[in-house]
A and B are shown apart, each in its own frame.
Chain A
Amino acid sequence: MTLTEIVDIQKIRADFPVLDQEINGKKLVYFDNAATTQKPIAVINALKHYYEFDNANIHRGIHTLAERATRDFEATREAVRKFLGAASTEEIIFTSGTTNGINLVASTYGRKFIKEGDEIIISGLEHHSNIVPWQMLCEEKGINLKVIPVNDRGELDMEVYDQLLSEKVKLVSVNHVSNALGTINPVKEIIAKAHAVGAVVMIDGAQATSHLDIDVQDLDADFYAFSAHKLYGPTGVGALYGKKALLEAMPPYMGGGEMIKEVTFEKTTYNELPYKFEAGTPNIADVVALKAALEYMDSIGRDKIAAHEDMLLQYATEQLLQIEGLRMIGEAKNKVSVASFVIEGIHPQDIGVLLDNLGVAVRTGHHCTQPLMKRFNILGTTRASFAVYNTIEEVDRLIAGLHRVKKMLA
């Protein structure tokens, strides 16, 4: 079989209008998918349709448009529930994205239930968005932050994790997949071990949801956050899953409309789940369009998407390793379609600038993971991350581009 037979790649590419353009006179190769994926026409049309026909505020009006908008908004909640394998839609809170979800948990669960002298564990693979909210909480409350170290392959050192765990640990927050290296973390094991000492676990799913099947009940995750824009959906929207009992025990995050049951100047009672955490008019249009993104992924088949991306990663890794002076950063046994690398004597920014002139979009720099870059003693990497619409020919363009870049900078 040829390498591209897993999915109907030409049909898929036709679904993404943005791909059909030239950059600097060359056909665009978009390999910055871990930053954000492109949007299929189904998602763009869902946004357009909402504003053209259904726009209204939700959960309030009794007119037809309000009913339609509310119905579609809540239909996405059900779709997300199914997508994450959650037990109930009460456990699905719409957010502006993963960062928002993590901050919500830190500010509500964290503030209420974690106290001075307690410990929070994160990992050396975390994005700044899963470091800083916990640091802020730790500083405010006198909590100690512990970090699971990363080995040379870019995997978490689970032996040290075992040693870090104790009765003092109240919360563990790690990513399911590393944005900088692509490492898939053994979150099921991490969660089980944390639960054994009575800690709750927050999973940053930003980089996992477009590649892996997620089942929060099977993982037994307490909190799981993701962003729509990383899985072919719109920007500015995401969801936070939380176990019902935890969400019920948590105080609200923001006050305002929608999250209340009854307001008097003496006392306000809060709305039930999930509305308790959704103050103000939400990002209705983007929530509605998120459903189209989930349906799009299902229409191709999530296993096929993963297989296609895996094939691209294997091919790209083989080809990249043939480039003299190139070193892969992140060689975990389990990883998603992220190829992060450095080339001896060349600054990643120079690679990025020149590849852009060749029409190839990659990410260069520290990927918002400065502690991780420090761990590998590098300034940053060049990262090519693959999505369902990428092809073998595009990988070849990257490789040819890198040879050219090396020659130009030599």
Chain B
Amino acid sequence: MTINEIQDEIIEEFALFDDWADKYEYIIDMGKKLKGLPEDQKTEDNIIKGCQSRVWLNAHKDGENLVFEADSEAVIVKGLVSMLIRVLSGHSPKEIAESELYFIDQIGMSQHLAQTRSNGLVSMVKQMKNYAIAYQLV
């Protein structure tokens, strides 16, 4: 699936929820299911600092594609992180670098990306793209 096909799939999943709580329960569930990172990879190098919660991001190449792994100490952020990984991980650096993320806005979670100081999500998206740009060059 392309990045946009995955985004559309997530938007469809969220269209089923008519209640904010269902939506958040789904995100919380995704947050809990995300494997996260082993403690030794939660390093200063991988950290993306937010005002309230930290996010750790790791990237490596798998064949032609870029694979992301990430973690957060707050479960809702972790759920959103999990969706970002689902959308972007496993695609070519070019695809990732050129992608436009519209699903967050469409599922009504854009406030989490607007609060730049309170969580590391905005920086995380930026960092994912930076990895993609960097891997395009090697």
Closest A residue to B51 by CB, please name it: A365
User: Which B residues are in CB contact (< 8 Å) with A348?
Assistant: 52
Q: Which of B8-16, B19-27, B96-104, B123-131 contacts its partner?
A: B19-27
Contact present for A408 and B74 (CB under 8 Å) = no
Enumerate A380-410 residues with CB–CB distance to B below 8 Å: 380, 408-409
Determine whether B105 belongs to the interface, using a CB cutoff of 8 Å to chain A: no
Contact present for B74 and A349 (CB under 8 Å) = yes
Enumerate A331-387 residues with CB–CB distance to B below 8 Å: 347-350, 352-354, 357, 364-366, 379-380
User: Which A residues are in CB contact (< 8 Å) with B20?
Assistant: 24, 357
Contact present for A350 and B74 (CB under 8 Å) = yes
Determine whether B76 belongs to the interface, using a CB cutoff of 8 Å to chain A: yes
Determine whether B133 belongs to the interface, using a CB cutoff of 8 Å to chain A: no
A335 vs B53: C-alpha distance when bound (angstroms): 28
B interface secondary structure, majority: helix
A interface secondary structure, majority: helix
Contact present for A347 and B75 (CB under 8 Å) = yes
A380 vs B75: C-alpha distance when bound (angstroms): 15
Contact present for A347 and B24 (CB under 8 Å) = no
Closest A residue to B54 by CB, please name it: A379
Determine whether B3 belongs to the interface, using a CB cutoff of 8 Å to chain A: no
Contact present for B53 and A347 (CB under 8 Å) = yes
Contact present for A349 and B119 (CB under 8 Å) = yes
Interface residues of A, CB < 8 Å — how many? 16
Interface size class of B (residues with CB under 8 A): 10 to 19
Contact present for A380 and B28 (CB under 8 Å) = no
A408 vs B25: C-alpha distance when bound (angstroms): 6
Q: Which of B20, B28, B76, B119 has the most CB of A within 10 A?
A: B76
- The contact string, 1 if C-beta is below 8 Å from chain A, for chain B 14-40, is 000000110011001000000000000
Closest B residue to A379 by CB, please name it: B73
Q: Which of A24, A350, A380 has the most CB of B within 10 A?
A: A350
User: Which A residues are in CB contact (< 8 Å) with B75?
Assistant: 347, 350, 409
In whole Å, how far is B126's beta carbon from the nearest beta carbon of chain A?
A: 20
Contact present for A349 and B25 (CB under 8 Å) = no
Closest A residue to B112 by CB, please name it: A353
Contact present for B77 and A349 (CB under 8 Å) = yes
Closest A residue to B32 by CB, please name it: A409
- The contact string, 1 if C-beta is below 8 Å from chain A, for chain B 51-75, is 1110000000000000000000111
Contact present for A347 and B73 (CB under 8 Å) = yes
Q: Which 4 A-B pairs have the closest CB atoms?
A: A347-B74, A365-B52, A349-B74, A349-B52
Q: A349-B76, A354-B76 are in contact. List 17 more A-B contacts (CB 8 A).
A: A347-B53, A347-B74, A349-B118, A350-B75, A350-B76, A353-B24, A353-B112, A354-B24, A364-B52, A365-B51, A365-B52, A365-B118, A366-B51, A380-B52, A408-B21, A408-B24, A409-B75
Give me 6 A-to-B residue pairs in the complex whose CB atoms sit less than 8 angstroms apart, sorted by A's number: A347-B73, A349-B118, A353-B24, A353-B76, A379-B53, A408-B28
